[in-house]
Copies of this chain bind each other. A is one copy, B any other.
Amino acid sequence: MNIFVIGIGLIGGSFVKDVRAKMSAAKIYGIDANAAHVAQALSLGLIDEKATYEDLHLAEFVMVSVPVDVMLQELPKILDKVSDECVVCDAGSTKELLCAALEEHPKRRNFLACHPIAGTEFSGPSAAINGLYHGKTNIICEIEKTAFTLQERALEIFQLLGMRIRYMNPKAHDKHIAYVSHLSHISSFMLGKTVIEKEKNERDIFDMAGSGFESTVRLAKSSPAMWTPIFKQNKENVVETLEEYIQNLSEFKEMLLKDDYEGIYDQMNNTNKIKVILKGMPVSKMVAKEKN
């Protein structure tokens, strides 16, 4: 199968790494606006060949993993170039604007709107890792708008990579993901900012920060080029989550000021149930390992 990856960073690179491991007959073409990334992807063996949009007629499967602002601009052009028998998937963290933008595209049936919930705080081809998608959820939106045989082809590949599939409409996707992903990133970035501002002498952070701080601030290492357009496209939902988060933090502060330690205890105790909620998560193996 001729597989194209457009945008060969952590997401696209990890995707083709696993595809190559599971589909020995796949030929992998790479397209990236950044020539250094293409060269790196070739030397890392992530792709077999450098390609351009003019080669897209050869594609049977295309994974587009570029920042969501670039996605809006490039996906219509990519769809214009592929054959009727090709399925084009994206991996963007927002779905509403993209699905709306492609609604009337003549090749809408060739597009499958996806969001594999997987990643690390690193970026670029060298950040690509094996097994990134194994056991992770891939949210698919508007499945009914994709041609049936093309749905099948994409789902077979996702299954080979060990992904769990969940179907959702774009509006619900963007709303929920604001809570479980976008807000986490902002809380982490602002935590990093608050601490850096205070601790002018970085040596103090270095010496006193434990693994608790490190895990909470991990997402603050993420790429601003990737996250700025996500926050822009999901502005309305993100603002809502931020308002609720700020409200909860302010209430916590008020309880402290009023010496309401019973209230503080209760809030933490109630939130402890996140343990049970997360227990079933496939990714929680990571934390369990840490315990041993």
Contacts and interface: CB of A to CB of B under 8 A. Distances in A.
Contacts of A211: 118-120, 283, 286
A127 B287 CA distance: 13
A228 B176 CA distance: 30
B243 A253 contact: yes
Contacts of A186: 249, 252
Interface of A: 117-122, 127, 129, 136-137, 139, 164, 166, 176-177, 179-181, 183-199, 202, 204-222, 224-225, 227-229, 231-232, 235, 238-239, 241-246, 248-250, 252-253, 256-257, 259, 261, 264-275, 277-278, 280-281, 283-284, 286-287, 290-292
Contacts of A248: 190, 193-194, 197
Given A120-B290, A181-B208, A256-B235, A277 B196 contact: yes
Main secondary structure of the interface of A (DSSP, over half): helix
7 contacts: A118-B210, A197-B248, A202-B277, A205-B278, A212-B219, A228-B261, A242-B253
A271 to B, nearest CB: 4
A62 to B, nearest CB: 23
A169 to B, nearest CB: 13
A243 B256 CA distance: 12
Contacts of A265: 224-225, 228
A10 to B, nearest CB: 10
